[in-house]
Structure 1
């Protein structure tokens, strides 16, 4: 057919010509030996082009768009559906795959003929593209009618394969590919029209199997079958199911085979977990670990049985030992080879011991990590009054075992921080003092030393030596240095200064401890407005200190100070041992009988949190030195306070503590911050040495470097790498994004 370029092509004429091309395409799809030449293609394309570019009323773009869709609908209704309706089961699936392939070919060719519509008309009108129209026709007319039959046929084949029959996996892959492709970029059709029913059928199938196996098989035999089933389901995903189905399918199988029957399986007489532990069935225990380790709380019942086993075995060993304490630790090491081999039978005994113990040594107990518990245990052993029942040899032996146990704790840096940082202690004993720190960090070790709570300096040095041997010098660097000796000498010089300068005497027995940055932790300093009596003390000490040096800045940490105040109550006089904040508040009542919350806050210049704590301790706790209106158990900004002249107590000297502050959260936050710095430093060290390194190798080397202090999270390392890239320490290779280069 030759089209006149100057005469408008009418719709009927042009479409009749296009029908010849569509008919020829249908014959090609049916397998007839025909094809399109380049001239054929150009004539068909040109016909559409001319019919779309003619002037109105001969612009037939909309009509051709509609007829494009009608061509698919006519072919599907006349040819495709009749062919599919007469076939069933696997034959229907094969026919559907063939028709789907032909349909995509038809869409590809027709969209090329009508391509001018896609480029201009469809783009301007924001209509669905030609490819989408073709797929939508198939979805609405074929897929919607047959999806139920197709789903049932596929699930039947999957169940047949589970029973050991041979099935055509390529056919299943192609069929399930239709469910994915028909969603046009979304998995909604696959999930709603196939996966949901497939998962239900899988759960029902394995429920039936498990109900029989749990009765017929021993625990090892049952676990063998369960492991094989899980392996085959993962294999099924790799061959024909969509990859997104794997976690859902595995969860269903695990639930039916392992979770539902966990108690019956683990408690099986003569073959359950207890019997496997008793008989050292390493391979079976290893399989049990592999099966249950990925199930949420799946190892809890196994761990409970193991705990009972250890208790029984340990009790027997303790009864044979002279030293129950030392043998108790020995029990753990005696049992360790069995536990360790559960994870990997070929790993060395030492490595197995480490892996086994790390499972238990890093569990939380009542919300506390083992790192914190170990730090508290050390503090109790080393402080005064904590070890009266132990001689020096027993203390050294206990500390040695603590350090060995620390080897299995992954968060060693958290242990170090808690070891140096306890919950706030009661104020130190008199003489009354204001404590002065320059900066640094006060932890468990620091408190023992600073407040003279350490029972034995030799034991302090011993555990630091052992920790250095176990974890390295960097681990103990912040624990080893302190300048208390210099601080004591400084206090003696201050007393001499006062003795030689009677006119500068502050009028209060004052003890000040000056410490140096780096050895001691940072405590929050505040701009507390001191009463006149205390201001004079501070000024006197400043004058003295300036005679020693003019190049150091003194920062007063009032929260660690204590004061002894004489309270003159009507019944009798009582000595009050209080903190600096409390003392400052009480001295305000020398000038005023009644003060409001806001007046106290203004005069002391304290934050609300600190003010509420100190007023709570004075008016709502055991000793009500101050009366509060209204008389409630909490302090609010609307309260008023009066000195309680009628207060009395059977003691002539009482200590009034502040409510404790939970500093655990801050310790954990500080450790997290330090870990970020440590990861950054490790990455930079590695990259500075290597210059160019792949992502996986960089992560593994970073983990290896840091594992002596803590077990870094892979996600945290990845985040730090990205941060270092933004800060121009590293850059990604332009051709390989998983390769990093160091920027000098």
Structure 2
């Protein structure tokens, strides 16, 4: 078959007919569609013109005319229709014209597809569809990009003002910006995104300045700003590219939050401090949500929160210090109980704030922890908070407590006390105060409930470890149970040995020194009746064991003696010291201060205390000459036969001894041992260590129980050197060696 040659003019005339028909169809003019026969004619024409032998191969000429056809369509049809429209109408026309143009490019590319597959690739020419994109970019996009951009941003601003807009239209327009750049985002970012960010900053800056009034603006401002930000997130996610969303939100957040952050935080009544003070929890939650989007301000918020908690804590301390000025010890004790309650409430309040309102942010947990640690390690009214917590627990756990709580409430309160203990550096100080008070509850049968005693020890053990509670657990279980068993055995011993019975009811509590606190013991000269009791019990105890020594602690004892007065007989509940002093008057009508001190073999301080309780306090069992309110070494005493009281049974207390000094001394002694043990333990494993590193490792090891003083550690190191546990390096005095 022979194919007639087609010259350029003849072939292009055929192609122009097809192109014109396509234009008419795109413009909506009356025109029939392009049939398959017409398509094959157009395709074959291009094929033949590209496969003819030179000089009749018109490939390059067809390529150029393809471009010229597209340019002519854009210049004569597309541009005029776009230039005569404005704003949203122009955008709609652009979407329509762009779709038509894409159809035209697609159709022509199909007709010229042979050329695209062979000639374009062979000569490294631009593919036909890319030619179409280039023509559109050069003739339409570059001409109208600013006008289109401004129209799009105007629509976005109108939507921000609450107007309904065609979001699909915006999405289609922005797709054109992306399509023009092919795989690169330069056109979208430079020609649209940059202007949008600038406009958004201007728009929201204007809004923010309009919302702010001279005073009390924070809550209302945040509400409006947060709602704007929420709407902006929803809005831009519908038509903007995902890469634009974080940039735009950051810009809006900066304008709304960062610019006004200091005012929002520092406003006296409506700022962060004021909201915390007024417990405006919803507004505070909103503020945190707002500033969590601006990480740089989270530190500022957390620090302000810490300052506020610290401020409230110091206010509690100052109030307690002021209340401590009264001389009434009962009132002072009550105030200290109230202080601990308020401290617990302060802790609970702000833990709830952080957990529920502050989204459990770690920064706020850290800020609260630091504030409470600073507060819980302050002195309050001459006492440490470690001591106050121990006293608070004692008041809850003993019988006839001023805190009348249900079992459940007691458990919850003890749990909160143990939680507060975590913030205290000197936990060993709490342990010693608590152990002293626990001992008194157990010895004098003042503990209200054994289950509660064991429960708090379990909580303390979980918080501070088994070593922290080992002695207290021994007191509650092993130590006291064994003592009660001894009493039962002693009663059986007396019933089987009638001749050994001293004739006085005697109950002895035997304590193991390993568990119980240490107490001062005195060689009190007991009356004959009491001496016999001691001897009988010693003989009994020797039948059980000969390897233990009994040390009598009379300060912990209680005696019931009968006082025969002129009007009636009264049962007197006194200490062994008081009983010994009163029994002296069975054989003497009148005794001097020095005679009493000599016969009892006590120190001046102890004699003054017991004689004051018997002659100057509420119950004047002894008459004193001269009749003053203080005890002097020249005083004389005689039994007051005329004493009377409406009660048949009275308890005569000794003036309380301040155990605080003794507890602190005991704790300091235990700390010296603990530091020594820590240093030796570290050096034994490391053999050679520098001074600074040794000190830091020692602090780290002991930090769970107490915060050791650097000077104390240095002093213990020197002591261990003198005892040949360590030695200094000869060449470097800051280097220590362990001596095995």
**Shorter-normalised TM range:** 0.5 to 0.7
Q: 2:615 aligns with which of 615, 619, 622?
A: 619
Equivalence for 2:410: 395
Q: 2:372 aligns with which of 347, 357, 364?
A: 357
Contact 2:624 2:638 in 1 (8 A): yes
Matched, 1:476 2:447: no
SS at match of 1:556: coil
SS at match of 2:637: strand
Counterpart mapping for 1:483-498 below 5 A: 483-498=479-494
Q: 1:735 aligns with which of 728, 731, 736?
A: 731
Pair 275,506 (structure 1): closer, same or farther in 2 beyond 3 Å = closer
Equivalence for 1:405: 420
Pair 633,336 (structure 1): closer, same or farther in 2 beyond 3 Å = farther
Contact 1:276 1:285 in 2 (8 A): no
Equivalence for 2:570: 574
Q: CA deviation at 1:542?
A: 1.7
Pair 595,389 (structure 1): closer, same or farther in 2 beyond 3 Å = closer
SS at match of 2:699: helix
Counterpart mapping for 1:655-670 below 5 A: 655-670=651-666
Equivalence for 2:442: 449
Pair 717,517 (structure 1): closer, same or farther in 2 beyond 3 Å = same
Q: CA deviation at 1:525?
A: 0.7
Q: Deviations over 1:449-484 (max 9, x none)?
A: 222222222222221111111111111111111322
Q: CA deviation at 1:410?
A: 0.8
SS at match of 2:380: coil
SS at match of 2:657: coil
In 2, Cα distance between equivalents of 1:666 and 1:578: 24
Contact 1:680 1:724 in 2 (8 A): yes
Q: CA deviation at 1:328?
A: 6.6
In 1, Cα distance between equivalents of 2:624 and 2:509: 35
In 1, Cα distance between equivalents of 2:455 and 2:530: 41
Contact 1:683 1:721 in 2 (8 A): yes
Contact 2:425 2:705 in 1 (8 A): yes
Q: Deviations over 1:432-453 (max 9, x none)?
A: xxxxxxxxxxxx1122222222
RMSD (Å) for aligned C-alpha atoms: 3.6
Equivalence for 1:466: 459
SS at match of 1:574: strand
Q: Deviations over 1:12-59 (max 9, x none)?
A: xxxxxxxxxxxxxxxxxxxxxxxxxxxxxxxxxxxxxxxxxxxxxxxx
Q: 1:697 aligns with which of 693, 700, 717?
A: 693
Counterpart mapping for 1:192-211 below 5 A: none
Q: CA deviation at 1:269?
A: 6.9
Contact 1:575 1:653 in 2 (8 A): yes
Structure with the greater alpha carbon radius of gyration? 2
Number of residues of Structure 1 aligned to a counterpart in Structure 2: 437
Q: 1:420 aligns with which of 435, 449, 455?
A: 435
Pair 727,360 (structure 1): closer, same or farther in 2 beyond 3 Å = same
Equivalence for 1:607: 603
Counterpart mapping for 1:115-126 below 5 A: none
Contact 1:706 1:712 in 2 (8 A): yes
SS at match of 1:599: helix
Matched, 1:707 2:703: yes
Equivalence for 2:513: 517
Equivalence for 1:586: 582
Counterpart mapping for 1:77-476 below 5 A: 274=274, 282-284=298-300, 304=315, 330-335=348-353, 350-386=365-401, 389-421=404-436, 444-476=437-469
SS at match of 1:567: strand
User: More deviation in 603-612 or 541-550?
Assistant: 541-550
Pair 307,267 (structure 1): closer, same or farther in 2 beyond 3 Å = farther
In 2, Cα distance between equivalents of 1:396 and 1:561: 31
In 1, Cα distance between equivalents of 2:602 and 2:586: 19
Equivalence for 1:635: 631
Equivalence for 2:498: 502
Pair 303,529 (structure 1): closer, same or farther in 2 beyond 3 Å = closer
In 2, Cα distance between equivalents of 1:557 and 1:479: 19
Q: Deviations over 1:482-504 (max 9, x none)?
A: 32222222212222222222222
Q: CA deviation at 1:394?
A: 2.5
Equivalence for 2:131: none
In 1, Cα distance between equivalents of 2:312 and 2:516: 45
Equivalence for 1:120: none
* TM-score for the superposition, normalised by structure 2: 0.54
Q: 1:685 aligns with which of 659, 670, 681?
A: 681
Contact 1:595 1:641 in 2 (8 A): yes
In 1, Cα distance between equivalents of 2:363 and 2:272: 26
In 2, Cα distance between equivalents of 1:644 and 1:307: 47
In 1, Cα distance between equivalents of 2:402 and 2:636: 46
Q: CA deviation at 1:267?
A: 8.9
Q: Which runs of 5+ in 2 are unaligned?
A: 1-264, 278-283, 289-296, 320-341
Contact 1:339 1:356 in 2 (8 A): no
Contact 2:425 2:707 in 1 (8 A): yes
Matched, 1:550 2:546: yes
Contact 2:415 2:459 in 1 (8 A): yes
Q: CA deviation at 1:653?
A: 1.3
